[in-house]
C-alpha cells in the first residue's frame, strides 16, 4: 500500500507519537513522584499524592515499552547504538524505575515514619532519575554520539558514561525534569483539593516558567552548536546502508529545516504559547484545561527536537558519514509494512482503553478517602 520512503516517514511519526505518549502519560506520574516529598507535608498528604497515580502508573509504562519495541522493530541499528552507547545510563534508569513498584507496594506495609520516609525518597529517585536521563539522552543526540561503523556494519562506541554529562545535555535534562514536574503538578491539581491543590498551583506556576526559560536557553544554544546535514545524494527508497552518504557538520545546521519549511516554526512557537496558557489556566482554576495545555507543551518540545534533527536519528560525532538517518537505518520494506498494520490495529486500542481508564478514575483523592479506606489506600 505504501512505498518504502513513505513507510519510513510513517514510522518516524509513529516513533514520535509513542515518545510523546510516554512523556505525556508516563510523565505526569514521574513528575508526581518527584513532587511527593515536597508537596506532602504529612504522611496522609503524601498518601493522597501517591494514590492519585496509584491506579494508573503501571499502565503508563506501556508507552515506554512500546516506544522501545518500535525503535527495535523499525530502526534496529539505531536501537543497537542507543542501547550500547547509553548502556550505563539506561541501566541506571532501569534501577531507578525498579524502585517505583517496590515503593508503591511496600510503603504502607509498616506504620514506621522512617520506613515510609525512605520509600518516599525511593519514589522520588524513581521519578527524578529517569526524567533527567531521558533529557540528557536527547541533549547528546543533538550534539552527536561518539560511535562509528566498520565495513561490516559493526558498531563501535568510543564514549563513556561521564561524557554524556556535558553542559548542554545537563540543560536538556533539566528541561525534561522541569516540564515533567509542571505536568505532574497540573495533574495533581485535578486530583487533589485544599492545601495540596494550592501548593500544586504554585508549583505549576514556577515550573512552567522554568520550562519556558530553559527551552528558550536551549534554543539559543542549539543555534550555536554544530548541527548535521546530508550533502550527497541519498535515495529515500534504497536498502538501508548508513555508509553510503556524505554528511557535513556546522554550527546552526539544526535550524536548516525551519529555513526550508518556514511553517515548522509553529512547533516551537506553540510550545511557548501552550506553556503560557498553562500558567494562565492554572491560575484561573481551569484545571483540566491546564493539564491539557501542559500536555501540548510537552508534545511541542519533543516535536521541536524531532523536526530539528530530521532526517537524522542518531548523528555520529566521530565519523559524520556514519550517522544514522530515517532513510538508511530502517528495517526492510516488508518489516515496516507488517508492523504498520499491527500498529494501526493496536495503537487505537491502547488509546481508547487509556482514555476509558482515566474517565473512570477521574475523581479526586481526598484526605477523608485515605482515612476512611486505610486498608486499600497506599
pLDDT digits (tens, 9 = 90+) for 122-137: 999 999 999 999 999 9
Q: For residues 185 and 152, is the Cβ–Cβ distance under 8 A?
A: no
In a domain, 176, yes or no: yes
pLDDT of 349 over the 70 cut = yes
Instruction: State the pLDDT confidence band at 282, using cuts at 50, 70 and 90.
Output: very high
Phi, psi of 140 (to 5 degrees): -75, -35
pLDDT of 13 over the 70 cut = yes
In a domain, 38, yes or no: yes
pLDDT at 321: 94
Residues 6 or more apart in contact with residue 277 via CB below 8 angstroms: 293
Buried b (16+ CB within 10 A) or exposed e, 180-215: bbbbbbbbbbbbbeeebbebbbebbbebbbbbbebb
238: three-class secondary structure by DSSP: coil
Supply the range of the domain harboring residue 255: 4-372
Give the residue with greater pLDDT, 358 vs 99: 99
Q: Which of 48-57, 159-168, 279-288 has the lowest mean pLDDT?
A: 48-57
Q: For residues 24 and 15, is the Cβ–Cβ distance under 8 A?
A: no
Dist CA 198 CA 205 (whole Å): 11
Question: Model's pTM, two decimal places?
Answer: 0.92
In a domain, 22, yes or no: yes
Q: How far is CA 97 from CA 54, 211, 279, in A?
A: 15, 23, 30
pLDDT of 378 over the 70 cut = no
- Rounded to the nearest angstrom, the gap between the alpha carbon of residue 122 and the centroid of all alpha carbons in its chain is 21
In a domain, 122, yes or no: yes
pLDDT tens, position by position, 147-206? 999 988 889 999 888 889 999 999 999 999 999 999 999 999 998 988 999 999 999 999
The secondary structure of residue 88, as a DSSP letter, is H
How many structural domains compose the chain?
A: 1
pLDDT tens, position by position, 61-101? 788 888 888 899 999 999 999 988 888 999 999 999 999 99
- Tell me the average pLDDT of the chain: 90
CA atoms within 13 A on the CB side of 290: 27
Dist CA 168 CA 218 (whole Å): 8
pLDDT at 347: 82
Dist CA 133 CA 128 (whole Å): 9
Mean pLDDT of 115-120: 94
In a domain, 378, yes or no: no
In a domain, 173, yes or no: yes
CA atoms within 13 A on the CB side of 71: 20
- Prior bond of 20 cis (ω within 30°): no
In a domain, 377, yes or no: no
Amino acid at each position: 500500500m505504501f512505498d518504502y520512503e513513505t513507510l519510513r516517514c510513517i514510522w518516524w511519526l509513529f516513533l514520535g507519537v509513542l515518545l510523546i505518549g510516554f512523556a505525556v502519560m508516563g510523565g505526569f506520574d514521574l513528575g508526581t513522584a518527584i513532587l511527593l516529598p515536597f508537596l506532602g507535608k504529612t504522611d496522609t498528604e503524601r498518601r493522597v499524592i501517591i494514590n492519585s497515580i496509584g491506579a494508573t502508573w503501571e499502565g503508563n509504562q506501556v508507552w515506554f515499552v512500546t516506544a522501545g519495541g518500535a525503535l527495535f522493530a523499525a530502526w534496529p541499528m539505531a536501537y543497537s547504538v542507543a542501547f550500547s552507547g547509553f548502556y550505563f545510563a539506561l541501566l541506571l534508569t532501569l534501577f531507578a524505575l525498579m524502585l517505583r513498584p517496590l515503593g508503591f507496594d511496600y510503603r504502607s506495609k509498616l506504620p514506621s515514619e522512617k520506613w515510609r520516609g525512605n520509600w518516599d525518597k525511593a519514589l522520588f529517585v524513581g521519578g527524578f532519575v529517569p526524567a533527567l536521563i531521558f533529557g540528557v539522552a536527547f541533549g547528546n543526540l543533538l550534539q552527536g554520539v561518539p560511535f562509528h561503523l566498520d565495513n561490516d556494519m559493526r558498531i563501535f562506541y568510543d564514549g563513556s558514561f561521564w561524557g554524556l554529562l556535558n553542559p548542554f545535555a545537563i540543560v536538556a535534562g533539566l528541561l525534561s525534569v522541569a516540564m515533567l514536574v509542571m505536568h505532574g503538578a497540573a495533574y495533581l491539581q485535578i486530583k487533589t483539593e485544599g492545601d495540596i491543590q494550592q501548593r500544586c498551583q504554585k508549583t505549576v506556576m514556577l515550573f512552567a516558567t522554568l520550562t519556558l526559560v530553559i527551552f528558550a536557553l536551549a534554543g539559543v544554544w542549539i543555534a550555536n552548536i554544530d548541527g548535521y546535514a546530508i550533502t550527497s545524494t541519498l535515495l529515500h527508497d534504497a536498502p538501508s546502508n548508513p555508509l553510503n552518504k556524505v554528511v557535513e557538520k556546522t554550527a546552526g545546521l539544526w535550524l536548516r529545516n525551519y529555513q526550508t519549511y518556514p511553517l515548522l516554526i509553529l512547533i516551537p512557537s506553540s510550545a511557548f504559547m501552550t506553556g503560557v496558557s498553562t500558567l494562565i489556566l492554572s491560575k484561573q482554576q481551569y484545571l483540566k484545561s491546564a493539564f491539557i495545555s501542559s500536555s501540548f507543551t510537552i508534545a511541542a518540545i519533543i516535536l521541536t527536537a524531532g523536526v530539528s534533527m530530521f532526517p537524522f536519528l542518531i548523528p555520529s560525532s566521530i565519523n559524520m558519514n556514519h550517522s544514522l538517518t530515517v532513510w538508511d537505518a530502517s528495517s526492510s520494506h516488508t518489516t515496516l509494512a507488517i508492523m504498520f498494520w499491527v500498529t494501526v490495529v493496536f495503537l487505537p486500542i491502547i488509546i481508547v482503553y487509556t482514555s476509558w481508564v482515566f474517565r473512570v478514575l477521574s475523581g479526586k483523592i481526598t484526605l477523608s478517602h485515605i482515612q476512611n479506606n486505610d486498608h486499600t489506600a497506599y
